[in-house]
Structure 1
Amino acid sequence: MIKPFFCFEKEFTVNVDASKEDCFYQPMKIGDTTDIEYQVISGGELDISLNIFDPTGRVLVADFKKSENSHTIVVQMNGDYKFCFDNKFSSFSAKTIFFELIVDNSEEDKWDSDENYNFDDVDPSVIYNLKLTEVQEIVNNVRDNLNKAKHLQDMIKSTEARDRNVAEEAFFRVNVYSILILVVMILVSFVQLFMVKSLFEEKSKVHSFWSYLERIFH
């Protein structure tokens, strides 16, 4: 049998409304190593504040208006830890945040070298050439590398989502400004056409006005 180990890994995508704060709680115990990495993928200036509190309410981490960041915490106290994303500084823009939380107890995440393992399907010559500790190290390295690859893929995915949101927002703004400029150009064209036409019509008010000004100054 393999000794049980504790490892919590979770990904979240949350929306934090303008002038609001959303908090999450995670129970942890002494010896745990906690990694949190977050990224704002949409909303306004793409920034958020993060505060992390221990069970006594003491602030462990305080980020102010960051677009992304990561932190590693070695737990020194048993209890519920609070993770708060603060968007109170924004009056209008809601924020969408992707974050990953990993809680790992490295002391428990070991294999018991005294246990018996079944290698019936493996070539005996290979088994005898490798010590059990070497097998454990290889498997642990493979698992760690797979976790790193998965984490990297998740971050790349969130970065792509943020870039896509930025591009779509920029595209929308360009379209709106282009339409406004086009409308202004059309209105100016009609005004110019009306003014020029009125200058050549003796009965028009514009022509009478210009004639009046001409008599005054001459």
Structure 2
Amino acid sequence: MLSQRTLTGWLRVTCLLLIFCRLSTSEKVLGVETDEFDFDGLPGAQHEFKIEIGAGREECFYQPIVKGGKLHVSFEVLKGGDQLLDYYIRKPSLITPVQEARTRPRWIAEVDIEEEGAYAICLDNTASRMASKLVYVYLVTYVEEEWSKYRQEIEDLQLTVTNFSETIKNVQQSITDSLVHQASSRMNVIRDWYLITGNNTYVQRMSIAMCLVIVISSCVQVYFVRRLFRYTNVTSTKKPRA
């Protein structure tokens, strides 16, 4: 059996690991430590996923964003019905949408965040009563003001930082544009894959149906041809009596 000292040591190690994991997963955004922005050490978040919107339903998800940040959202309907969907983005304190789009297969939105809180990003399929829609969603949030802290640190060292800070902003914008372009390319690839898969299934089913039609028609033709050459003996085999 383990001694009390050994158990105490294990408990201390476990507590230290939990504290370390807690500190490593949190991140400071504009001087405030938060768990909502924990992607690659940069202020902001990035999400990429597919979601199925049922027929006659509306799905919303919420993204916490700090004041002064930017929100980029891209939508692409991959399959389902007429591939038309309604989209809108709503502030935490408003019922009316900040931006919206009606009956589109795809939509790209850019929003400057003026109010901190959880923004509602909704996909509305209530116009379709029969078909569900599979939607590809790509979301990025980032805070440009966060880069000013690097400028302040370099200014404290009496260095000229104008060009340097502009370069950092340009690099960040280029990275964001590259991610958006990659997301758009992935949307096209996934949509083409679903189209090819659907065409393949359609061709296979039509081929099986045509084969069945050919086999059935051949059997019917053989049956009727054999009936053409079938005859009955109408001559009586009984001889008349003398």
What TM-score range do you get, normalising by the shorter chain? 0.7 to 0.9
Q: Deviations over 1:143-165 (max 9, x none)?
A: 32222222212221222011101
Q: Deviations over 1:139-195 (max 9, x none)?
A: 322232222222212221222011101110011011111211221122112212211
CA distance in 1, matches of 2:114, 2:169: 25
Of 170, 173, 181, which aligns to 1:144?
A: 173
CA distance in 1, matches of 2:189, 2:100: 26
C-alpha contact (below 8 Å) 2:77/2:135 kept by paired residues: yes
- Give the structure-2-normalised TM-score: 0.67
C-alpha contact (below 8 Å) 2:84/2:104 kept by paired residues: yes
C-alpha contact (below 8 Å) 2:74/2:137 kept by paired residues: yes
**Residue in 2 aligned with 1:93?**
131
C-alpha contact (below 8 Å) 2:55/2:126 kept by paired residues: yes
Q: Give, as a single letter, the amino acid of the residue that structure 1 aligns with 2:161.
A: L
**Residue in 2 aligned with 1:188?**
217
- For the residue of structure 2 that corresponds to 1:93, the secondary structure is coil
- For the residue of structure 2 that corresponds to 1:100, the secondary structure is strand
After TM superposition, give the deviation of residue 116 of structure 1 in Å.
Answer: 4.1
**Residue in 1 aligned with 2:100?**
62
Q: Give, as a single letter, the amino acid of the residue that structure 2 aligns with 1:106.
A: E
C-alpha contact (below 8 Å) 2:43/2:142 kept by paired residues: yes
Shift of the 150–76 alpha-carbon distance from structure 1 to 2, 3 Å rule, reads closer
CA distance in 1, matches of 2:202, 2:128: 20
Of 86, 100, 103, which aligns to 2:141?
A: 103
Q: Which runs of 5+ in 1 are unaligned?
A: 120-127, 204-218
Root-mean-square deviation (CA, aligned residues, Å) is 3.0
**Residue in 1 aligned with 2:88?**
51
CA distance in 1, matches of 2:104, 2:217: 44
- Give the structure-1-normalised TM-score: 0.74
Q: How does 1:123-202 map to 2 (within 5 A)?
A: 131-202=160-231
The count of corresponding residues between Structure 1 and Structure 2 is 193
After TM superposition, give the deviation of residue 24 of structure 1 in Å.
Answer: 0.8
CA distance in 1, matches of 2:212, 2:51: 39
- For the residue of structure 2 that corresponds to 1:63, the secondary structure is strand
CA distance in 1, matches of 2:205, 2:148: 59
**Residue in 2 aligned with 1:32?**
69
Larger RCO, structures 1/2 (Cα 8 Å, 6+ apart)? 1
CA distance in 2, matches of 1:114, 1:83: 35
After TM superposition, give the deviation of residue 87 of structure 1 in Å.
Answer: 2.2
**Residue in 1 aligned with 2:47?**
10
**Residue in 2 aligned with 1:207?**
none
**Residue in 2 aligned with 1:115?**
153
- For the residue of structure 1 that corresponds to 2:128, the secondary structure is coil
CA distance in 2, matches of 1:75, 1:116: 27
Range with bigger deviation, 105-114 or 6-15: 105-114
Identity across the alignment (%): 23
Q: Deviations over 1:101-148 (max 9, x none)?
A: 22333344424534248x9xxxxxxxx9x9322122223222322222
Shift of the 150–35 alpha-carbon distance from structure 1 to 2, 3 Å rule, reads closer
Range with bigger deviation, 50-59 or 70-79: 70-79
CA distance in 2, matches of 1:172, 1:196: 36
